[in-house]
Structure 1
Amino acid sequence: MAKFVYRMQNILELKQKIEEQEKANFGMATARFNQEQDKLRQLMIKQAAYERQLKELSIGNIDIKAIKTCKSAITSMKVALRDQMIEVSKAQKAMENARKKLNAVMMERKMHEKLREHAFEEFLDEMDREESKITDELVSYTYFNTEKEDE
């Protein structure tokens, strides 16, 4: 029996390798996005702690220097939060771009796999036709030989 050889197998393998690379890129982009979100959460927690500290400093004995220090820390935290939100947004956009690339590459790979499946189906059909042809020839040969022997 003949062996099935897909003539575009190297292209299919290349598409699979590209898909693996894009999966890795998407994984790294997702990890970066998660890291940036964690940084944002940590900054929010620090800001909330400074605001609590400011409330505590405002109650009881008032220490002007400590209050000013705390207010400047809150202001710098607001700036850091704004900057971190921008970083989170950039990471999210990068993650979305990586997802789009991955989806496109996956579609290409699936298309090539479908083409391979169709080629394999055609190969099987051709093998069936060849087998039927051989069987018909064998039956015809046997029939005619038995007919000649009877005469």
Structure 2
Amino acid sequence: MPKFIYRMQSILSLKYKMEEQVKMEFAAARMRLDEEEEKLRRLFERKAYYEEEGRRLREHNLNVQDIMDNKNAILQMNDYIENQKIEVRRAEDELERKRKKLQEIMQERKVQEKLQEKAFEEFIKEENSAESKEVDELTSYTYGRRRR
């Protein structure tokens, strides 16, 4: 029986490679989002620390300069937090783009795999048909020789 050779194997192989590459890009985008979310979490913790420090400053002796510095630090943290939220949104958008790209590549690969399966089934049908034809010819030949 001859060996099955899928004529579009190079395309299927390319689809596998592209899928792996996009999976790595997706993983990198996921890591970036995680990092950006971690930065945001740390900024919130820092802001909470400044707010707690502001409460302590107001409870004890009132040092106006320390209270003003603390208020400015909190306002600055609010700016940092807003900027970081924007970065988190960008990272989420990038992750979503990579997810859609990965989904598209996976669908293309599955289409190629289905085409390969159909080509293999057709190959098997042709081989079975050829084998059946050979058996019929052999049977006819053997029957014809016996008749003589």
Alignment partners' CA distance in 1, 2:7 and 2:50: 67
Alignment partners' CA distance in 2, 1:111 and 1:6: 14
TM superposition shift of 1:132: 0.5
2:141 corresponding residue in structure 1: 141
Letter in 2 for 1:83: N
CA RMSD of aligned residues (A): 0.6
1:76 aligns with 2:76: yes
Letter in 1 for 2:37: Q
Count of aligned pairs: 148
Per-residue CA deviations over 1:106-132 (Å, capped at 9, x if unaligned) read 100100000000000000111110110
TM-score after normalising by structure 2: 0.98
TM superposition shift of 1:147: 1.2
1:53 aligns with 2:53: yes
Alignment partners' CA distance in 2, 1:147 and 1:139: 12
Letter in 1 for 2:30: T
TM superposition shift of 1:43: 0.2
Alignment partners' CA distance in 2, 1:51 and 1:99: 39
Per-residue CA deviations over 1:55-106 (Å, capped at 9, x if unaligned) read 1111021111111111110000000000000000000000000000010011
Letter in 1 for 2:85: M
Letter in 1 for 2:124: L
Q: Secondary structure at the match of 1:110?
A: helix
Alignment partners' CA distance in 2, 1:54 and 1:145: 110
Letter in 2 for 1:92: E
Letter in 2 for 1:28: A
Residues 18-37 of structure 1: pairs in structure 2 closer than 5 A? 18-37=18-37
Per-residue CA deviations over 1:4-51 (Å, capped at 9, x if unaligned) read 111100011111111111001101001000000000000000001100
Alignment partners' CA distance in 2, 1:74 and 1:127: 78
Unaligned runs of 5+ residues in structure 2 are: none
1:63 corresponding residue in structure 2: 63
Unaligned runs of 5+ residues in structure 1 are: none
What percentage of residue pairs aligned between the two structures are identical? 46
1:107 corresponding residue in structure 2: 107
2:4 corresponding residue in structure 1: 4
Q: Secondary structure at the match of 2:27?
A: helix
Alignment partners' CA distance in 2, 1:11 and 1:3: 19
